[in-house]
Structure formats: structure tokens, C-alpha cells
Amino acid sequence: MQPDLTGKVVVITGASRGLGRAMALGFARAGADVVVSSRTAEACEEVAAEIRAVGRRAVVAPCHVGRWSECAHLIDRARATFGRIDVLVNNAGIAPVAPALQAIGEELFDKTLAVNLKGPLRLTALAADLMPDGASVINISSRASTKPTPPTVVYAAAKAGLNALTIAAAQEFGPRGIRVNAIVCGPFRTSSFTKALDGTVDEHALTDRIPLRRIGDPEEIIGTALWLGSAASSYVTGALITLDGGA
């Protein structure tokens, strides 16, 4: 059964590809209108056209979530168009790697923290003012947040911070009826995942460590996202829900 989000307004960052695109189309098929956001308008427009093709409204709102002022512009666009936000999906993220701590530069560190943590914090704070009772924030975290490795340490730290933000924001906004949860993702077959492999990781060895013995398909995040965004999960907040094939 697919949760009904008819008439709900959903804002999704990083919505032009991968998990973000899958969720944007999934919410639209469930009846929601979607504010499609990523760094480039052209990429957003392609997804928006797909949403309109299923009969829902789509608004393109380019935003670099690592920039404080652009986060405000994104929320202002949602306010001007719809007047409210029922679901915010903080999906945009970057995952640069470095071979050792000594190889991590300040620019890489600052950019990774800005996109993966500063942006979601700012957007959540701003969106809450437009959220009615029953609204939902969904943060897209990573298994790296709980199982860091040396190459992913900065990304892992940022996502661990996102987990902390999820729990703290759930406490702050719970009395207003706003729920905040995170999906802690394992590997999904997205373009960024393929690029990250870059021939340096044996995919068979990776899947051997996953009980379901495969990499996730982007479509497989939709059910969890719709559940968290709908009244079906009305008593769930502050939760870190792992979606990793059992790894």
C-alpha cells in the first residue's frame, strides 16, 4: 500500500538525480506537489517535467545548500508558491574521499560539512516556520555515520552530525507536531556510487558483506520516504532508520 500524500507540498534537495530524483517522482506519484532543488536549474527542470507528466505541480528552485543565503531563497520560493511545506527532504550531499588525514585540506573539510550538515540545519530551521502540525523532515544520512573509515572520515563526521541534528530537532519541534527522522543509507546504485567505486572496490566483495547480496536500487528508498512523510508514521520521530540490505 502506498501512503496518500495528495495535495501535500514536498521540498527535496539534491532532487535532480539518484535518490533525490527517485523520491521526487515517488512523492509525485503519491499525490504530492514538489519543489525540485539542486545546484543547476536545467537538471531540476528535467525532473520537474517528469513530475508534471504524472499530473502534479512542480517548481524548480536551484540552491547550493552549503550557502546560507541560498537556503533562505529556496524556502522563500516554497513560501511564495505554496504558502507552506508539509515535507522537507534534506537529501543533497557530497562524499569526497582522502587517503589519509594528512591529505585532507581545509577546502574539502569546509565544503563537505557545509553541504551535508550546515545546509540541512539551516533549511530545517527555516522550513519549520512554514510547517503545519503533522509535517515531516526527512534527513538522508549514511551508514558511514556509524561505521566510518579513514577515506570517508570527513563525510562520516558530517553525517554523524546530521544524525545528531535529527534527534535534537525532533525534540525541539515535536511539541509543534513536526516530526524529524533520518534514513541511514547503505550503498545504492546511483551515479555517485558508481563514480566512487572507480574500479578501486570489488563490488562482489562489497555485496558479499550485505545479507541481501546486492546493491540497493534508488527506487527502494521511496517506500521508506513516503512512510516517513505521511501520517502512516505519525508517532515516529527522532528515529534513525537503517536502509542497507542488512549490512
Please give the backbone phi and psi of residue 107, each rounded to the nearest 5 degrees, phi first. Answer: -65, -45
Q: How many helices (H) and strands (E) does the chain have?
A: 9, 7
Which residue, chain included where needed, has cell 507536531?
177
- Cβ neighbours of 202 (radius 10 Å): 10
155 given a catalytic annotation: yes
- How far is it, in rounded angstroms, from Cα 111 to Cα 96? 10
- How far is it, in rounded angstroms, from Cα 143 to Cα 247? 9
| Helical spans, DSSP H, in 83-173 | 106-113, 119-128, 153-173
Instruction: State the cell numbers at 133.
Output: 502540525
- The amino acid that residue 119 corresponds to is G
Of 27, 155, 173, 227, which residue is the catalytic one? Answer: 155
Please give the backbone phi and psi of residue 234, each rounded to the nearest 5 degrees, phi first. Answer: -65, -15
- Length of the chain counted residue by residue: 247
Q: How far is CA 111 from the centre of its chain?
A: 17
Instruction: State the cell numbers at 96.
Output: 569526497
CA dihedral (220, 6, 235, 124) positive or negative? positive
Instruction: State the cell numbers at 102.
Output: 594528512
- The catalytic site residues sit at 155
